[in-house]
Structure 1
Amino acid sequence: MIELAPVLPQGEHELFHSARQLCPSRAIRVRDDRIGEGLPFETEPVPWYARGRWLRDSQMRPATFLNYGIADYYIQDAGSLLPVALLDPKPGEWILDLCAAPGGKASAILEAMQGIGVLVANETIRSRLDSLHYMLARTGHANYIVANQDPEDLSQALSGRFDAVLVDAPCSGQMLVARDKRDESAWSQKQILHSAKRQNRILDAAVRMLKPGGRLIYSTCTFALEEDEEQISRLATNWPDRFEPIESQGLGAWQSPLAKGCYRLWPHRDRCAGGFAGGLVLKDSAPEWEEEGSSGGGKRFAKGKGLRGHPKEERDLLQSIAPVGDLSGDLEFRLWNGELSLASPDVWRLLDRFHWLGTPMTAAFRKGTRWLPSHALAMLRPTWFQPKQWVELDSDRASVYLRGEVVPLRGDSPDLDAGAGSVARRVEAEGDGWRVARWRNCPMGWVKGVSNRWNNHLPTWAVMNSIEDPS
C-alpha cells in the first residue's frame, strides 16, 4: 500500500480506504452557453469549478436525457475538473492538451477559449481519436486540431510555442479501481514506478513546448506521491532557474501540504474519486531550451508538401455545399487531406507551417461519390455557422432521432422552418435537402428530407441507445 502520511493525517486513513472503494457521486459540467437552461435533474455545485455540478440523485443516468443529446452538459467526474480550474484557460491562448482523450478536459478548455486561439488536442492512441473528435464537436467551436503524435516528436518541432500545456498523464489509476477500470495492482510499487518513469518522459517533452511565462499543468488519477508531488518537485529541481509554482487562491482549500502549486482531492472529503493537479509557470527570464544533441529521440519533420487540395476542386466543393448554410464568423473552409475542413485563422496558420500536425474540424466528408456534411458542422454555434434550413422536433421525435432511427413527418403541423422570419413549409413542398435537426432550438445533427420522412444522418458514435421518457 502507498505512503499517505506526508499528505493525509493519520486519523483519516481509515476513512480514505473505506471511501476509495465506493463509486463517487455522479457529476456533470454544464456547457458555458447553457448555464441558465433548466436541467432534467437536481444538482449541487462543485466548489472548485464554477460549471461543475453533482447530481443529487446518483441513481440518475445523465447520458439518457435529451439534454445530453443537445450537449447541454458533459459527464465527467468532479475530480477531473481540478486541473482545468488550475489551468484557467483564456480566449486567445495557444494551448496543448498532450494526453487529451476522451476529451472531457479538452472540451472544457475549448469552451473557455470562446473560439479564439488554438487548442491542440493530442492523443497517442489512435483508437481513441473518434471519441476525442466527438467531444470537441459538442462544444460548437472550430479552433482546434486533433493530433496523434508522440510527445517527444512534438517537442522537437513545437518548442516554445504554447501559452499552456496540460499533461493529464497515464498513471497507475488508483482512483479508477472503484469503477472497475483498474484492478488492485494499481496500488503496487512496481506499477507506480513504471508509471512514474513514463511520466518523466512526457513531462520533459511538455516543458519544452512552453513559451516564457507559459503554464504547465500536470494531473493524474492516482494518489501515489511518486506520480504526483514528486513529479512537480523533480521538474523544479532539475531546472531551478526556470519555474515557479502556480499558487491559486481559488484552490487554496485543496492545497497539498507537501509541495507548493500542488492540489489534492480525496474521496472521503470531496465527493469524488479523488484528484491531483500541480502547476508550474515558466519564468519570463528563463533561458532558451538547449538543443538536444542527438536525433534519436524521435522522428524529424520536414515542411514538405502541404495537404491542401486542388483549388478548383475546393471551389467546386464549396459551391456544392453552399445550400447547407453560411459561415457567420471568421472561420475558413479548406479542402485538407481529402476532407473539407473548417478552422479559425490561427489554426490554419499553425497547419500551414506544420502540415503533419493533425486534423482540424471536418465540415464535410466523402462517401462514395457524394460529399456529406459532418456532425461537427451541424453542432457549431450560431456565432460560427448558420444553417439554411432546420427542422424543430418535439420531444418524442427528438428521441427517435437520437436513437438513430428514421424520423417520420408530423401530420398535423408544419415541420420545416426555413429560417428566421420565413414561413414554415412542409418537407414535401421542399423536396430533398439537408436540414439541421433541433430540439429546444439547439442542434442535434443532420437529417435529409425525402417524401414522407426525415432520413437520419446521426453518426453511430452519437446514437443514444437509452433515452428517458420525455413525457
Structure 2
Amino acid sequence: MYLPDKFCDEMKRILGDEYEDYLASMDASRKYGLRVNTAKISVEDFLKITPFELTPIPYISNGFYYDEKEQPSKHPYYFAGLYYLQDPSAMTPASRLPVEEGDVVLDLCAAPGGKATELGAKLHGTGLLIANDISSKRAKALLKNIELFGVENSFIVTEYPAKLVEYFTGFFDKILIDAPCSGEGMFRKDPAMVKAWEQNGPEFYAKLQREILEQALPMLKEGGMLLYSTCTFSPLEDEGSVQYLLSLDPSLKLVDMEGYSGFVKGNPAWIDSGNKELEKCVRMFPHKLDGEGHFLALLQKGEKAAVKKVHFSQKRKGLKGEEKKLFEEFQTQMNRTFDPERLESKNGMIYYMPEKLPDMKGLRFLRSGLFMGEMKKKRFEPSQSLAMALKREDYKKRVEFSADDEEVFRYLKGETILLQPEQIVDEGKKPGGWYLVCVDGFPLGWGKAAGMTLKNKYHQGWRLL
C-alpha cells in the first residue's frame, strides 16, 4: 500500500531493523475483534451460546478474533447488546483503565462508543459515566451504542473540554482520553487515513492533544487515574504528549499496566528525553501482535485516597399526578423497582437520573440518565433504551424467541408477529398489553399484544435492513 515518504522515514528511525517486518504487516489482512458485554453476560456463558468460531485475544480478557465472513453484526445477539465489534488493539485502553463499581468516569473523546461501552459495563449500573464528544453527529452513534449495551447511569455530552472544566473540577475518579491523532496505526484498516495524514500530520495533532490534556487534568480528582491513548506511532503525539502532561502537575506519576509479550515499552529516546518513566507507556505495532497500531499511558494524580470522595448527589422532583399514576400502573408489570426520587419528567419524557449527576444547566447534551419512555394520552409507552437496560426477569410479560427462530428476524425487521402459545411467558394478571421481546433470554425491545398478534414496537432506527 502507498505510504508517504516522510512517514516511512520516521518509521525507519524508530523501528530500525524491524522496519521491513512492519512493511510486510501492512500487506497482511487486518484482524476483526468482538468484545463481550460483561454487564449482560459472562464470557464463560457467552462462549456456551455463541454461533461464531472465536479465538481469544490474548491481551483482552473479554475480547475475541472472528472471521469477517460470519457477519456477527447481523446476528440477533448483536441487537441484544451482547457484544461490540471493535479493532482488537482499540479494546486495550478501556481494558487497562482500572474502573471500579461506584466510580465516576469521564470518556472525553467518546464517539462512537467502543471504549465508553466497556467503561459502562465495568460500572455494572453503579457510579456515573459521562461520555463526551464535541461532534453532535458522532455523539448520536455514541448514544445508540450506550443504549444498546444497557448502560443506564450515563450522561451523553457534546461539549468542548474547556466548558466541562467549569462543571467538573476535581470530580472524576477515572478519565479516559482516546485523543484525536494522525491515525498512523489505522493506515492498514483505513487507507483513507493516509491522505488525511498528509493534510494534517503529527504536528497538528500534538498541539490539539496538549490543549485537551491541559483542560482535562483539572477534572481528575486527587488519587484519580487518567489513561491517555492514541492510534498513532508518532513519538511527538505519544511519548511527547505524555511528557507534556507530566510537566503540568508534579504529582502525576506513570503507572505500570498489565503487560503482554507483543507490547513494546515506550521509548524516551525517540523524543530526546532522559525520563525513564516513559518506558511504562505501551506501544502496539501490527508486526508484533494481531491488531492495528495503538499507544497508551496510565497516570495517577497524587496519592490514592484511602476513602473515596463523596460526589455531589441531588434529589429529583419525581413524578406527579397523572404521570405518576400511569407510570406506577406500568410498573405493576415489573419485578424491578425504580427509586421514585430519581425519576424526572421533561415534557412528558420520563428519565431515570444517575445518583451522582450534579446540575447540568448550561451544558449541551443528548441524554441524561436512562430514558424510560413517554407519556401519551392516558398511557405510558416504554422506550427502547428501557428494554435494553432490563434483564428478562425484570418484566413479567415476555415473548421468548430463540436465536435461530425466523420470527426473531421478522421482529428485528419491524414486522407484526403471529405468536405461538409456547413463545409467551405471562406472570401478569391480564393478557395483552406490553411484552418484553427476548432472544434466548436477552431483551431486544417491546411489542404490544392483542390476542395472539404482537404489534411491533422495535425502535425504527435500529431495525434490521
TM-score by length of 1: 0.83
Q: Which moved more, 1:314-323 or 1:61-70?
A: 314-323
> How many residue pairs end up in the alignment?
430
Rounded to whole Å, the distance in 1 between the matches of 2:388 and 2:424 is 18
- Counterpart of 1:41 in structure 2: which amino acid? F
- Counterpart of 1:26 in structure 2: which amino acid? Y
Conservation of the 8 A alpha-carbon contact between 1:79 and 1:274: yes
Residue 387 (1) aligns with residue 398 (2): no
Rounded to whole Å, the distance in 1 between the matches of 2:346 and 2:28 is 46
Once the two structures are TM-superposed, the CA of residue 130 in structure 1 deviates from its matched residue by 2.8
Residue 354 (1) aligns with residue 360 (2): yes
Distance 1:254 1:446, change over 3 A: same
Conservation of the 8 A alpha-carbon contact between 2:148 and 2:388: yes
Q: Which moved more, 1:99-108 or 1:362-371?
A: 362-371
Once the two structures are TM-superposed, the CA of residue 368 in structure 1 deviates from its matched residue by 8.3
Rounded to whole Å, the distance in 2 between the matches of 1:252 and 1:457 is 48
Residue 275 (1) aligns with residue 275 (2): no
Q: Which moved more, 1:179-188 or 1:440-449?
A: 179-188
Once the two structures are TM-superposed, the CA of residue 452 in structure 1 deviates from its matched residue by 4.7
Conservation of the 8 A alpha-carbon contact between 2:173 and 2:225: yes
Does the residue aligned with 2:64 lie in a helix, a strand or coil? Answer: strand
Once the two structures are TM-superposed, the CA of residue 321 in structure 1 deviates from its matched residue by 3.1
What is residue 335 of structure 1 aligned with on the other side? 344
Once the two structures are TM-superposed, the CA of residue 233 in structure 1 deviates from its matched residue by 1.0
Rounded to whole Å, the distance in 1 between the matches of 2:255 and 2:296 is 11
Map 1:208-357 to 2 at 5 A: 208-239=218-249, 241-251=250-260, 254-258=263-267, 259-284=278-303, 311-312=320-321, 314-328=323-337, 333-338=342-347, 339-343=349-353, 347-351=354-358, 353-357=359-363
- Counterpart of 1:416 in structure 2: which amino acid? I
Residue 28 (1) aligns with residue 34 (2): yes
Find the partner of 2:374 among 365, 368, 372.
Answer: 365
What is residue 447 of structure 2 aligned with on the other side? 447
What is residue 150 of structure 2 aligned with on the other side? 140
What is residue 66 of structure 1 aligned with on the other side? 76
Alignment deviations for residues 62-90 of structure 1 (CA, whole Å, 9 cap, x no partner) = 11222222222111111111111221211
- Counterpart of 1:391 in structure 2: which amino acid? V
Does the residue aligned with 2:188 lie in a helix, a strand or coil? Answer: helix
Does the residue aligned with 1:216 lie in a helix, a strand or coil? Answer: strand
Distance 1:158 1:6, change over 3 A: farther
- Structure 1 unaligned blocks of 5 or more: 287-305, 424-428, 466-471
Identity %, equivalent residues:
28
What is residue 22 of structure 2 aligned with on the other side? 16
Alignment deviations for residues 372-418 of structure 1 (CA, whole Å, 9 cap, x no partner) = 211111112439x81131111242111111222222223xx443211
What is residue 434 of structure 1 aligned with on the other side? 434
- Indicate the RMSD between aligned Cα atoms, in angstroms: 2.9
Does the residue aligned with 2:187 lie in a helix, a strand or coil? Answer: helix
- Counterpart of 1:373 in structure 2: which amino acid? P
What is residue 275 of structure 2 aligned with on the other side? none
Does the residue aligned with 2:385 lie in a helix, a strand or coil? Answer: helix
Once the two structures are TM-superposed, the CA of residue 434 in structure 1 deviates from its matched residue by 0.9
What is residue 426 of structure 2 aligned with on the other side? 418
Conservation of the 8 A alpha-carbon contact between 2:214 and 2:248: no
Rounded to whole Å, the distance in 2 between the matches of 1:255 and 1:330 is 48
Does the residue aligned with 2:58 lie in a helix, a strand or coil? Answer: coil
Once the two structures are TM-superposed, the CA of residue 462 in structure 1 deviates from its matched residue by 2.2
TM-score by length of 2: 0.84
- Counterpart of 1:430 in structure 2: which amino acid? P
Rounded to whole Å, the distance in 2 between the matches of 1:118 and 1:414 is 40
Once the two structures are TM-superposed, the CA of residue 192 in structure 1 deviates from its matched residue by 2.1
Once the two structures are TM-superposed, the CA of residue 450 in structure 1 deviates from its matched residue by 2.8
- Counterpart of 2:450 in structure 1: which amino acid? V
Distance 1:371 1:194, change over 3 A: farther
Rounded to whole Å, the distance in 2 between the matches of 1:445 and 1:133 is 16
What is residue 52 of structure 2 aligned with on the other side? 41
Once the two structures are TM-superposed, the CA of residue 54 in structure 1 deviates from its matched residue by 0.7
Distance 1:245 1:335, change over 3 A: same
Conservation of the 8 A alpha-carbon contact between 2:136 and 2:158: yes
